Chain A
Amino acid sequence: MSQINTANMKVVEGSYAVAHAVMCCKPDVISAYPITPQTHIVEHLSQMVANGELDSEFLTVDSEFSALSVLVGASAMGARSYSSTTSQGLALMYEVLYNVSGMRMPVVMNVANRAMGAPLNIWNDQQDAVGARDVGWLQIYVEDVQEAVDATLQAYKIAEDPQIRMPIMVCMDGFVLTHVYEPVELLDKELASQYLPAFQPEKILDPAKPITFGAFADPSTYTEFRYQQFDAQLKSMAKIEKAAKEFEETFGRHYGGLVDSYFADDAEVVIVTMGSVIGTIKDAIDAMRKEGKKVGLVKVRSYRPFPVQALRQALKGASVIAVIEKDVSIGAEAGLVTDLKSAFYNSKIRMPIIGFAAGLGGRDITIKDIRKIVDKAEAARKGIESEFEFLDLRTEIL
């Protein structure tokens, strides 16, 4: 990560920092429904609207399903639209998620990642968003509050690009990032407006030029709708890189575009992961490097689109890869490890890839855990014992 100007830093709650970023994006319509741990974001936004700091239409609705549906209508009217949710709320939106991407509406939503029930659990993992990886939304996973702030602004730039016009989830770990107080540089409103020009929709619902949105498509055209979404996701990779680069030029901060690396170049064991656990992993890597262990990290920032080429490039030197992720595909393995394996299958690059479901339902992932994973990865170089496992399984309560 690049230099941060500490002079402009303020200690604020993660949710406030993100709400402030949203304010700088000047959305026309905000529609959201409260759910832990996302609530503080929308509470802060409500207050900003109430104070007159933010000139947005804020709709308090009857459900997350309605919240996102409101944005379908608003977006069709040319609105820059915002929502935020997590877990059960995201699941309740599921049908609308497909609709927003199918109608190519550039909605931006912060997902405060949280476990899915049952059993009910309000703590952080990433099951909610990873479970929605196929709905057509771009998904950016952030590492810390500062990145959550910056990625929110970048998200509008990518989503509203005339060649993309796709919705984006900015995924931030619930509680870990939403409720933490840490020093962040809040966005400068002027600079944000420079970076993100006003949304220019080509066509809107307008009696002067009546058009039909959301017609039904039969087998003779449906495939082409899907293909165009697919194509837009692939094209968005360049836009994600560009948005990150332009952001760096304007604000001086950079987190990588599609992926980012930490000591990965000469590493033998490379950990691949997403989200806030990266902080712990970096600390573990620092310690292990001191001991002479060649351990590195590749952070997947963009999970959708899945950056196959960027990952092949970043990981080509690794002797073994350990994927740590806070989700599980019940009955298979887990999202990231499966996608990563498939990224390598048809390439000439081969190394063992093992996966760990960790931090489910908010369980801590410690430096000790990371060391354990690295040990297992090293052992896997000689032969894989287990391709995928639940980290820290408490066998005594099974």
Chain B
Amino acid sequence: MDIKAGRLVDPCSTRLTKTGAWRTFVPVFDQDKCIKCSLCEIYCPEGCIHQVDGLFVPDLDYCKGCSVCAHECPRMAISMVLEEK
């Protein structure tokens, strides 16, 4: 590692750390109930829920399983499920 250059750190580089490993419960999205309000994406503290091919999906590499998305979903389309690891 070039620390001298590294005194200054590259942008967006925490992507290297997959905080998904912290998770106990995983959000499961019922896409049929989803009304595409995007509140889950807006509120997600990890910023890891995005629209992929029109559907909102969490990036499980980073999702810590906080359940804010499930709690805020106006259609209760997201449920938190104990994750088998």
Q: Do chains A and B touch in the complex (CB under 8 A)?
A: yes
**Residues of A with Cβ closer than 8 Å to B?**
103-104, 203, 210-213, 215, 221, 224-225, 228
A215 contacts B3, C-beta separation under 8 Å: no
Give the docked Cα–Cα distance between A228 and B3 (Å): 9
Residues of A within 8 A of B11 (CB): 210-212
Give the docked Cα–Cα distance between A102 and B58 (Å): 39
Tell me, rounded to whole Å, the shortest Cβ–Cβ distance linking B72 to chain A: 30
Of B3, B8, B10, which one neighbours A224 at CB under 8 angstroms? Answer: B3
Flag whether B16 is at the interface (Cβ < 8 A).
no
Interface of A is mostly: loop
Give the docked Cα–Cα distance between A215 and B6 (Å): 10
Give the docked Cα–Cα distance between A225 and B4 (Å): 8
**Residues of B with Cβ closer than 8 Å to A?**
1, 3-4, 7-11
Instruction: Specify the chain A residue showing the minimal Cβ separation from B13.
Output: A212
Residues of B within 8 A of A213 (CB): 7-8
Tell me, rounded to whole Å, the shortest Cβ–Cβ distance linking B58 to chain A: 26
A211 contacts B8, C-beta separation under 8 Å: yes
Give the docked Cα–Cα distance between A212 and B8 (Å): 5
A221 contacts B7, C-beta separation under 8 Å: no
Tell me, rounded to whole Å, the shortest Cβ–Cβ distance linking B11 to chain A: 4
A211 contacts B3, C-beta separation under 8 Å: no
Give the docked Cα–Cα distance between A221 and B9 (Å): 13
Ranked nearest first, the 6 interchain pairs of A and B with the lowest CB-CB distance are A212-B9, A210-B11, A211-B8, A224-B3, A215-B9, A203-B8
Tell me, rounded to whole Å, the shortest Cβ–Cβ distance linking A286 to chain B: 48
B7 contacts A104, C-beta separation under 8 Å: yes
Tell me, rounded to whole Å, the shortest Cβ–Cβ distance linking A369 to chain B: 47
Instruction: Specify the chain A residue showing the minimal Cβ separation from B3.
Output: A224
Give the docked Cα–Cα distance between A104 and B5 (Å): 11
A228 contacts B8, C-beta separation under 8 Å: no
Tell me, rounded to whole Å, the shortest Cβ–Cβ distance linking B1 to chain A: 8
